[in-house]
């Protein structure tokens, strides 16, 4: 599998459940967060500034899911990336 043009294929990273003062914070509290986190699997030939293995933050409404070899990936455009860790 290989991304083309301005596309990036990522594996979403699920944030761990947070504990504040001994209280577990529900996963639903993060629904208001506009950005999600992911790890880049492959980048298209026209993408600059990121590379395979980078951890990124991207718009939650960007792209679409794809199943490949029993795994689910997200395919997004490079301009939906807002932060590289």
Is residue 30 over pLDDT 60? Answer: no
Is residue 25 over pLDDT 80? Answer: no
pLDDT of amino acid 19 = 66
Q: Between 2.30.33.40, 3.30.830.10, 3.40.50.300, 1.10.10.10, what CATH number should domain 7-84 receive? A: 2.30.33.40
Cβ atoms within 10 Å, residue 12: 14
DSSP of 33-68, one letter per residue? --EEEEEEEEE-TT--S--TT-EEEEETTSSEEEEE
Q: Where are the domains of the chain?
A: 7-84
Is residue 32 over pLDDT 90? Answer: no
* pTM, entire model: 0.80
Residues 66-85 pLDDT 10s: 999 999 999 999 999 999 99
Residue 17's pLDDT band (boundaries 50, 70, 90)?
Answer: low
Residues 46-67 pLDDT 10s: 999 999 999 999 998 999 999 9
* Cα gap 27→71, rounded to integer Å: 22
């Amino acid at each position: 599998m290989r991304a083309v043009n301005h596309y990036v294929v990522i594996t979403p990273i699920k944030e761990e459940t947070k504990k504040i003062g001994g209280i577990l914070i529900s996963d639903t509290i993060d629904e208001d967060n506009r950005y999600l986190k992911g790890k880049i699997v492959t980048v298209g030939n026209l993408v600059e500034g990121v590379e395979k293995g980078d951890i990124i933050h991207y718009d939650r409404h960007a792209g679409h899911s794809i199943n490949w070899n029993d795994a689910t990936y997200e395919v997004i455009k490079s301009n939906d990336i807002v932060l590289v860790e």
